[in-house]
Structure 1
Amino acid sequence: MKIIVRTFAGFEEILAKEIFQITNLNPEIGKRAVYLEGNLETIYTLNLWCRLALDVLVELHHYKASNEDELYNGAYEFVWNNEFSIHETFSITSVVNSPFFNHSKYASLKIKDAIVDQFNKKIGKRPSVDRENPDHKFLVRISHDQVNLLWNTSGDSLFKRGYRTMTGIAPLNEVLAAGILNFSGWDLKRPLIDPMCGSGTFLCEALMLARNIPPTIKRKSFGFMNHKDYDHGLWEKLKAKSLQEINNNQPTIMGFDNFNEMIIASRTNINNVLPNNNCKITFKDFFDLEPPLENPMLILNPPYNVRIAQEKNHLFYEEIGSRLKHTWSGSDAWILSGDLESLKHIGLRPIRRIKLFNGPIETKLVHIPLYKGSKKDKYR
């Protein structure tokens, strides 16, 4: 089977490395995705263990089409009742980059027509479309005259880990948080602090990483569970094996926030990941916080309110930079921000800048070492 694992732009290389570590397979790197060959066990393993994947797709059919009849006929040729039954629901989404097809919704409609027409001819009944909660999700990808029909084995996106039961106003995507931890090079031993922790996404992802907890072990459902070839015994075997691989590391992970609601949310979510963990989550404003220990790694995602005047956002970042410089020397700060203009006002020079996206929002991840004394002293 040809497998396509999708991720965020900029995550392709680290996802490929993660997949090699998980499966010992070398994926081919593409745009916002990687490609590999595998079997059912590969599919289940990727859905269970990939921290950096958004979903896992399988190619069902590939053909050429340069008009709507060819698009319809190519989809009609595929034997759809081998994939799902008349009693199950499905949805179709399309990604189109072609001079022959202008609208992704129209492409989805033609593929949908081909599927239901085939069922109607063979069985005398038509399966139902459910755009909100389908049993099966299919993706049509059209590039020029090349058409790929793909099955989404994940169902819901893999950022839905299953541990988040409380959220803030703008919760950080779990896959994005896992990727940032990967970029940071955190060695799982150095103390990790999120001084603006919100609902605790960084803390939860860090704990799972350090303890080798499978990221989706809490999830109850995946798209592959509704397929005719679903191997329940294999899935349960892989889950049982993964639980045995959880270790007893005791990483120092600390979170702080100045809203009680967020402290409650963070504690709830991290206890959902692992009850009786040793993570410390405390009510404290960042600007009153003193380093609780030496040489920590800081990960910050400062809150951003587009309704606040830009000057106030600039001032907020100036204050963050000043606090980091004068209070947190000897630390390393990794800052994720969607306010690219205000980030320039932090007053500290990053040694690394990484362009990322949090949903549709362009963000920047910057690494700022907070040296003790001068840089010259640092390298003596």
Structure 2
Amino acid sequence: MKIKEKDFVITLKTFYGFEEVLSDELKELNYNGIKILNRAVQIRGNWDDVYFLNLHIRCAISILVELSSFRINSERDLYNKAKKLNWDELFTYKRSIAVKGAVFSDIFKSTQYPMLLVKDAIVDVFRDKYGQRPDVSVSKPEILIDLYIRNNQVVLSLNTSGAPLFQRGYRTEAGLAPLNEVVAACLLRMSGWDRKTPFLDPFCGSGTLLVEAALLASGIPSNIERHYYAFKNLLNYDQDLWMSIYEKVNRNVSKLPCEIIGIDISDSMIIKTRRNLRTFPFARDVKTNINSFDSISNSETPYFVLTNPPYGERMGEEVEELYAEIGTWLKNKMTGTNFWMISSNMNALKCIALKHSKKVKVFNGNIECSFRQYEMYSGSKKK
């Protein structure tokens, strides 16, 4: 691919289980021709789309631009074909690089070796042409190359996001086990929240679900506070185009279209939530209180509840009793509630002692979880 091409493959990576959610979000943003993959979706687009999606997409981890796709039969094939690409048309040797990705092929004895081969090919292109070479930075590269190999097929892409897009830029405080921001955005969309019904998180922690819910309801992009993107390090970076996209966003939404409430029994968590909210104009419109979850009961307009309670992952943390109390609270105080929760503790989930109406396998980072819906009907459920 030449960097000036106007139509190319764009791959948006996400977490397992959220591919359909990401596809639906793209449709909402008026994209079509969407191809659903494993932990990713693909579209065709241009650099306007790359800039727009890095800012606006909520449910993707990274935005990749495909550079080349080819077949190999040996390790040497990978080096030779990677070296044929005009890397110096993409960036200068003054930029630090890294090659990361996934390898599923018997051609290689080590899954890390292909990354080294591609890195060597890139370095040799610059050394041969300029007598200089880019430095390698595994932790904070300015240019991040994505390598995907399955059997004999290779795809090389540019990661235009750089650091994962769940690094939104708004989190200044975190709890012991914060919910990943992209996961939070995906759960909100998967739950079907209409962005109008009062929203409640009774275990709000440092406030990730509250912030993402408020951003979704207000229409403000989740990455509005993020300033670093790897595409800014490319030779074709168009600052005027980027600023035209960025400045179109209405960032001054102080009044939310619905009530958003977060409670937590920990005063330190509520303080962290308020600090994470304060960068946004709607901060005062999100209500936060230090209290126990069962201090809440449904009002005339039932709450939409989505929460991430403790999983019991930490040493000495007993949650079975807590989950039993959640079940009692739902039955006795939360009639009419649409209640969703995510947890990795399958034994504790049984203690809720209520029949879930929906169950989805998802991941919170690397932790396998179950995302469950409990519909608390008043009276018997109509058939």
TM-score (norm 2): 0.94
1:136-156 deviation digits (Å, cap 9, x = unpaired): 111110011111111100111
Query: Number of paired residues?
Result: 376
User: What is the match of residue 338 of structure 1?
Assistant: 344
C-alpha displacement of 1:186: 1.0
Match of 2:372 among 343, 366, 370: 366
C-alpha displacement of 1:188: 1.2
2:313 partner amino acid: V
User: What is the match of residue 58 of structure 1?
Assistant: 65
SS of 1:241's partner is: coil
1:127 partner amino acid: P
Q: Which runs of 5+ in 2 are unaligned?
A: 1-7
C-alpha displacement of 1:214: 1.0
1:304-326 deviation digits (Å, cap 9, x = unpaired): 2334568x432221121112111
Match of 2:356 among 350, 353, 364: 350
Match of 2:327 among 321, 325, 333: 321
C-alpha displacement of 1:217: 1.0
User: What is the match of residue 110 of structure 1?
Assistant: 117
C-alpha displacement of 1:276: 4.7
Change (3 A) 1:195 1:244: closer
Question: Structure 1 CA distance, aligned partners of 2:18 and 2:59?
Answer: 7
State whether residues 194 and 255 of structure 1, in contact with CA within 8 Å, keep that contact through their aligned partners in structure 2. yes
2:73 partner amino acid: S
State whether residues 162 and 218 of structure 1, in contact with CA within 8 Å, keep that contact through their aligned partners in structure 2. yes
Question: Structure 2 CA distance, aligned partners of 1:267 and 1:8?
Answer: 28
Q: Which runs of 5+ in 1 are unaligned?
A: none
User: What is the match of residue 3 of structure 2?
Assistant: none
SS of 2:369's partner is: strand
User: What is the match of residue 139 of structure 1?
Assistant: 146
SS of 1:109's partner is: helix
C-alpha displacement of 1:246: 5.8
C-alpha displacement of 1:244: 7.1
Question: Structure 1 CA distance, aligned partners of 2:355 and 2:89?
Answer: 57
Match of 2:22 among 15, 21, 36: 15
State whether residues 250 and 278 of structure 1, in contact with CA within 8 Å, keep that contact through their aligned partners in structure 2. no
1:215-269 deviation digits (Å, cap 9, x = unpaired): 1111111011111001100110011112279695431000000111110111111
> Which runs of structure 2 are paired with 1:131-210 in the superposition (5 Å)?
131-210=138-217
> Which runs of structure 2 are paired with 1:168-317 in the superposition (5 Å)?
168-243=175-250, 249-291=256-298, 294-308=301-315, 312-317=318-323
1:38 partner amino acid: G
Deviates more, 1:137-146 or 1:60-69: 60-69
C-alpha displacement of 1:54: 0.7
Deviates more, 1:270-279 or 1:49-58: 270-279
1:77-126 deviation digits (Å, cap 9, x = unpaired): 11111111111101111300111123221111111111111111111111
1:92 aligns with 2:94: no
SS of 1:272's partner is: coil
Question: Structure 2 CA distance, aligned partners of 1:332 and 1:306?
Answer: 26
SS of 1:92's partner is: strand
State whether residues 168 and 223 of structure 2, in contact with CA within 8 Å, keep that contact through their aligned partners in structure 1. yes
1:33 aligns with 2:40: yes
2:131 partner amino acid: G
Question: Structure 2 CA distance, aligned partners of 1:246 and 1:313?
Answer: 38
1:22-80 deviation digits (Å, cap 9, x = unpaired): 24333111111111111110101111111111100011112211211101101111111
1:123 aligns with 2:130: yes
State whether residues 153 and 224 of structure 1, in contact with CA within 8 Å, keep that contact through their aligned partners in structure 2. yes
CA RMSD of aligned residues (A): 1.8
Q: Which has the higher helix share?
A: 1
